Structures are given as structure tokens and as C-alpha cells.
């Protein structure tokens, strides 16, 4: 589990295609790679992945074909910047919100507008995710915990302060860029419970509107 507070911006140093996925080697700046443990989880652009090897100032992860089909990781190349966050420890401060690292879909940057020193980013998302977007609620975009400014249909906007622009990949976002979207898990559980209460004999996953 994560909180959506990015610890580091890593750089992809190797991108190896495999039969059923890819192997990425990521160079870190602020994270001490020597303290990473094989098998631990790291969020890469908001995707929970497993550390499979650790080198000098870098670590490697595997991403399966299933992960690639549901995220923007297949678009990474050598030199790409990625948001990194290690998994939470018991007792850590919850600076953002509960982020599982399980991406719900891929959104697209629609516009970027100045707002003083900040920037307002607007995103379109798959229609089935719109019901989870609540004004002043939470969303994770490429692993960054954010508060939704506004929601209109299958689009939402967020305000990005200068610090976040500097410390995350938001500084590289342009119109048309694909981003990983993870909806607030609490909203999904609430939906599941409400649906189950109204349909006690239906054990199928929640994929329909309430």
C-alpha cells in the first residue's frame, strides 16, 4: 500500500522486452537503492511492482503483459522519467490517501492552464471510472495523490502546485499524454457493499452503474 506522496523521480536506464512483459532498470536519485530489498514493492508511475534486482544506484522490476495492457508503462523508453514511491511502513504518516498501486485505467491530458504559480491539469478518463470521481475527493495520477478540483462527466481537473511540478513527472506532461489513473479505493468498496445489499444473490464484480 502507498500514500501517493512521490519520493523520487527515477530514470529508465534499460528497457528489455520479454515474451510476456518487460524488464525495466530504473536509476534513482533520492532513494537509497542499497536499502531496497528483493521482493519488496515499489510504485512506478503509480503501478505496484516487485523489485527483482538491485544494482549500484538502480533497481530492476518486471512488468507482465497484463500490467502493460492496463497502464502506460509500455510507453516508457530509455531516458523516461518515472514517479517512485516505496510501500508504506506501519506508523508512517499518511500524507496523501490510500493508494493500492492497482491502476483502474489510463487517462489522457486534455489541457494545461496557468493558475498563478500553479497549473490546472484537465484529464479525460474511461467513462466507467467517472462515477468514482468526486469533487474535492481523491485520485492518484501516475502515482501522485491529488484532490479533484472539478468533475464534469468523464473529465476532471486538478491543481498542481510548483513543488509538485518540480518533484514529479507533471513537469513533463503535455496535451495527449497518457497517465495511470487509480480511483479512491474507499469509493469502490462503498459501491460494492451498496450493490451487494441491493442484490444479495449476485456475487459478480461491480461493473455497472448504481
Distance (Å) of CA 177 to CA 32, 87, 132: 30, 26, 22
Q: What's the whole-model pTM score?
A: 0.90
Note whether 83 and 43 are within 8 A (CB): yes
- For the domain with range 8-86, which CATH number is right: 2.40.50.140, 2.40.30.20, 1.10.1740.10, 3.50.50.60? 2.40.30.20
Stretch 62-81: mean pLDDT? 95
**Is it true that 8-86 and 105-191 share their CATH fold?**
yes
Beta bridge partners of 108: 124, 178
Helical residues (DSSP H) of 57-149, grouped into ranges: 65-70
What is the pLDDT of the chain when averaged over all its residues?
A: 93
Class of domain 105-191: mainly beta
Per-residue pLDDT of 159-207, as tens digits, reads: 999 999 999 999 999 999 999 999 999 888 888 888 777 777 665 554 4
Q: Is the pLDDT of residue 89 over 80?
A: yes
pLDDT at position 205: 52
Q: Is the pLDDT of residue 90 over 90?
A: no
Residue spans of the domains in the chain: they are: 8-86, 105-191
pLDDT at position 203: 56
- Distance in angstroms (rounded) separating the CA atoms of residues 47 and 26: 14
Stretch 79-95: mean pLDDT? 92
Amino acid at each position: 500500500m502507498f500514500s501517493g506522496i512521490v519520493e523520487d523521480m527515477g530514470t529508465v536506464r534499460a528497457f528489455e522486452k520479454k515474451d510476456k512483459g518487460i524488464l525495466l532498470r530504473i536509476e534513482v536519485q533520492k532513494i537509497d537503492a542499497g536499502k531496497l530489498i528483493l521482493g519488496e514493492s515499489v510504485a512506478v508511475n503509480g503501478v505496484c511492482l516487485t523489485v527483482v534486482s538491485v544494482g549500484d544506484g538502480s533497481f530492476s522490476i518486471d512488468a507482465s503483459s497484463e500490467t502493460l495492457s492496463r497502464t502506460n508503462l509500455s510507453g516508457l523508453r530509455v531516458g523516461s522519467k518515472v514517479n517512485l514511491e516505496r510501500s508504506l511502513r506501519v506508523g508512517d504518516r499518511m500524507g496523501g490517501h490510500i493508494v493500492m498501486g492497482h491502476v483502474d485505467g489510463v487517462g489522457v491530458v486534455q489541457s494545461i492552464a496557468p493558475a498563478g504559480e500553479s497549473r490546472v491539469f484537465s484529464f479525460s478518463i474511461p467513462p466507467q471510472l467517472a462515477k468514482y470521481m468526486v469533487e474535492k475527493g481523491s485520485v492518484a495520477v501516475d502515482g501522485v495523490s491529488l484532490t479533484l478540483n472539478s468533475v464534469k462527466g468523464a473529465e476532471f481537473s486538478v491543481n498542481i502546485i510548483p513543488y509538485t511540478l518540480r518533484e514529479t513527472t507533471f513537469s513533463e506532461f503535455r496535451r495527449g499524454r497518457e497517465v495511470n489513473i487509480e480511483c479512491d479505493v474507499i469509493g469502490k468498496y462503498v459501491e460494492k457493499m451498496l450493490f451487494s445489499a441491493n442484490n444479495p444473490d449476485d456475487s459478480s464484480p461491480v461493473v455497472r452503474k448504481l
